[in-house]
Amino acid sequence: MVKRKRMGMSLILGSSMMVAGPVIAGCSTGVSADEWATTEGAIGRINMEAVQEAFEKSQSVEEFEKRLNEIYEGDGIVLIRAKEEGGKRIIEAFEDLDKNGDLEPGKDDLLFAITNENGSNELRGNGANRHYSAFGGGGNFLFTYLIFSSMTRGGYGYYTPRSRVPQMETNRTSYRNSTDYSGGQGGGQVGKNSQYYSKQNSANRSSYTNSGRQLSPARQSYIGNQKSTGAFKSSKTGVRSSFGKSGWRSGGAKGAGGGQVIIGNLR
């Protein structure tokens, strides 16, 4: 456990980036452990372009957290922390793999970090997202002074409060049951994620595939435990739509988060 400090600071509006694509979604009933383990939600992939857009558009830390959990397809809630370290201001996002509501780096998986240094900003993926990085300056993709103005120098100034996690889970469940997540015009969020994954795989095939295999010890332990206990059967991860409209079928690079896996029955 690490000491927390509450912070109610705001993010400044920035420019946005739009993505779109077709989608369907389902649950993992009847799917093998190995099929589940190739999905983006299992290995910890997240749509980094949507993350960048969310950061630029969010007007509060709470809004950013909410949007991250709408974008992400994994089963654990995404938690964030902010710190100032060595002249850098950093926001890190982790999936709460053990689902205890606390951000514990040794047990949870780092998805990405956003770093501000000397007026330059970088979004860099970690784990299955390590192939991705983006830079910004000026009014685009900037940290604001407000986010870190109350931070203790050298310490962590913000953690997602454990007390708010149950409400975040409720909000995410409602979102995942809506067409905003898995249907409607453009296929919902999972459809946008599908387009992002396909684009990244086409543009950066080698690094994209390799990043899906270079998983953290915490992620590997999580996948192994989910497979061995059968807990993966209740997974609610998003699914790809490129292999049909019913049942389940696998595709893409095995074990590399190639995605394109239909899980369970359509909603």
pLDDT digits (tens, 9 = 90+) for 98-108: 999 999 999 99
* Per-residue model confidence as pLDDT tens digits over 11-25: 322 333 333 332 333
Whether 243 maps to a domain, the answer reads no
* Per-residue model confidence as pLDDT tens digits over 192-204: 999 999 999 998 8
CA distances from 197 to 122, 139, 202, 239, 252 (A): 20, 27, 9, 12, 11
Whether 92 maps to a domain, the answer reads yes
Whether 125 maps to a domain, the answer reads yes
Boundaries of domain holding 51: 44-167
pTM, full prediction? 0.78
Dihedral class, residue 87 (left if φ above 0, else alpha if ψ from -120 to 50, else beta): left
Q: What is the domain count for the chain?
A: 1
Whether 81 maps to a domain, the answer reads yes
More confident residue, 196 or 242: 196
Q: Which residue has the tokens 């239909």?
A: 262
